[in-house]
Amino acid sequence: MEKLIEKVKRRIESLAQELEHIYNDYPEAVIGEITVKNILGGMRGMKSLVCNTSYVDPYKGLFISDLEIPDFEDKSPEEIFFLLVTGSLPSVDELNELKSEFNKRSRVPQHVWTTLKSMSQTTHPMTMFSIGILAMEGESVFKQKYARGIPKSDYWKYTLEDSLNLIAKLPELAAGIYRILFMNGELIDTSDEKLDLAGNLTYRLGFNRHNPSFADLNRLYLVLHCDHEGGNVSAFTSRVVNSALSNIYLAASAGLNGLAGPLHGLANQVCLNFITCIHDQFGNNPTVDQVRDFVTATLDAGKVIPGYGHAVLRVTDPRFTSFMKFGDAHCSDSPYLQTVKKLFQVVPDILRSYKGGKVANPWPNVDAISGSLLYHYGMTHYEFYTVMFGISRVLGFCAQNTIARGLHQPIIRPKSVTTAWLKEYLKKQPGS
């Protein structure tokens, strides 16, 4: 792990030096203005946080360091985590070292399974995933070291240590939850040290494990969902919690609880349900006109079209395009993928013209397709799709918080005001 620690150390030192110069040279520089629309609109678009792991260009999509999709779509989750936390892709030796570390740390403690198996079968898998992570919180190295007294300069090292321990266990934890809830409850063990994170997940799920394209889909899924700046609900929640020096288990669980919402990570489940409703009405091969009629009727009923639109993007999500390319190569005959394509054919035009065409972004995001591919490969329980999203997104949580602790970023504590204060303030403005 020495190679990884040294690279993270160098990156933190470089970023700290850059930020120190910025702070010293431009302490009073104005980045933007806060409007009433910002305050009442969920802080949408407000620049209020530094995130050095990734950024999202409205017209090009996700960047990790200087790489955009498709530059990194063929990488492994291990390579992506290394890229997130160091800013560069690993060498062969660095990658092998990281894979070895994950393998050594991959076993989920028995008490976690005792806890999860005692829960109701009606529990949502995301709830179990979050609880499973919380149940491992007692192992936090950061918590133990902090209790004994460590310098602030070492916070990032033990956040990284916790991160490696947590990420390594996610495939076994997630697959075990799937088998407890949707199969016979018997956990699948593997001691194959040649399996990477995606391979371990595929093997432990226990179905379609010998299909190389399913393993490749899982790899792609874990890569494409890994991070998306610092302001989305899950990443921001994780950052806020960790800024209080709550360890990475607490921060990751909190972030996942945000991810579980239907306006965030649960959207892939909602998207597949939408397609299922189309098939229930028209069969598994609806015509383009039938899809168009279903979409219009949905809008007329005051509902939204799941999987379309994005808070930042103003083009088709490159992650959607990457998944589409995978689908065309490996499962082009899937009726669910065919319906995804028909929706892509009709929805943007409908949204651009519907009742004046006020939709800022009528294009598909990643959720519009991801669940359909998982369904094709036998993961037919929609509720689990957000867990797949969560395994990946924890990579970003861990990288963001490791760097934040290395930069000694303070506790996140924005100021709130009352509606009465806002009214009085606006009354005093010129021209009010």
367 is catalytic: yes
With beta carbons less than 8 A apart as the criterion, state whether 196 and 78 touch.
yes
**CA distance linking residue 175 with residue 169, whole number of Å:** 10
| For the chain, the helix, strand and coil percentages under 3-state DSSP, each to the nearest 5 | 60, 5, 35
| Annotated catalytic residue 196 | no
**Catalytic-labelled residue, pool 228, 310, 330, 376:** 310
Residue tagged active-site, from 162, 330, 367, 376: 367
Distances (CA, A) of 154 to 141, 238, 243, 245, 372: 12, 20, 15, 12, 44
Compute the C-alpha angle 164/160/135, nearest 5°: 60
Do the beta carbons of residue 93 and residue 61 sit within 8 Å? no
Question: Could you confirm whether 111 is annotated as catalytic?
Answer: no
CA distance 400 to 239: 7
SS3 121: coil
Q: What string of DSSP letters covers 225-292? A: TS---S-SHHHHHHHHHHHTT--HHHHHHHHHHHHTSTTTTTHHHHHHHHHHHHHHHH-SS--HHHHH
- Would you call 420 exposed, middle or buried from its count of C-beta atoms within 10 A (0-12, 13-18, 19+)? exposed
Evaluate the CA torsion angle 58, 62, 67, 70 in order and state its sign: negative
Choice among 124, 264, 279, 381 that is catalytic: 264
Question: Looking at the annotation, which residues are catalytic?
Answer: 264, 310, 367
